[in-house]
């Protein structure tokens, strides 16, 4: 069983932090808290942060993959066996209730796939959409 794990991007401070606690008020509002050096130090309103959930998977370097991460995937073409590299954005699809990757530089008809399908593939986190927006811009400019 996977224990849910989150990190958060503080929109105004432009900082990433591990989420230590989620607090829900009686009126349905959520606050996000974090620890520094083992002590609970800060909490933020959910409007101030963007939550990202761990997929439970790791990249080739052992780094945990979260929604919002941009991964470089190396795979093999089923057509001719050639090596293919592509960048993909990790997200959670509520319709399929699954973590998916969206190809940022589509190869043929491939647009998105289950992240788990690439479990055995060579994949590496190269950034995330919040700390590295330039990666997304570069992909859009190359398209």
Higher confidence at residue 23 or residue 119?
23
| pTM for this model (two decimals) | 0.79
Q: Residues of 106-116 as b/e, b for ≥16 C-beta within 10 angstroms?
A: eeeeeeeeebe
State pLDDT tens for residues 84-137. Answer: 788 888 999 898 888 888 888 765 445 455 565 655 567 889 999 999 988 877
Residue 101, CA atoms < 13 Å, CB-side half-sphere: 29
Residues contacting residue 8 through CB under 8 Å, at least 6 positions apart: 16, 17, 19, 32, 34, 44, 49, 50, 51, 52
- Count CB-CB contacts under 10 A for residue 123: 24
Cβ atoms of 7 and 34 closer than 8 Å: no
> Could you read off the pLDDT of 40-99 as tens digits, one per residue?
567 777 788 899 999 988 998 999 999 999 998 887 777 787 887 888 889 998 988 888
């Amino acid at each position: 069983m996977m224990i849910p794990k989150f990190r958060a991007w503080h929109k105004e401070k432009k900082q990433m932090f591990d989420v230590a606690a989620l607090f829900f008020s009686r009126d349905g509002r959520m606050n996000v808290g974090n620890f520094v050096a083992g002590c609970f130090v800060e909490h933020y309103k959910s409007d101030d942060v963007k939550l990202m959930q761990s997929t439970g998977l790791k990249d080739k370097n052992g780094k945990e993959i979260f929604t919002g991460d941009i991964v470089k995937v190396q795979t093999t073409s089923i057509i001719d066996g050639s090596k293919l590299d592509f960048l993909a954005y990790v997200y959670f699809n509520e319709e399929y209730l699954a973590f998916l990757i969206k190809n940022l530089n589509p190869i043929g008809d491939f647009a998105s796939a289950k992240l788990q399908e690439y479990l055995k593939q060579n994949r590496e986190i190269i950034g995330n959409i919040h700390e590295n927006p330039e990666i997304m811009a570069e992909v859009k400019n190359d398209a």
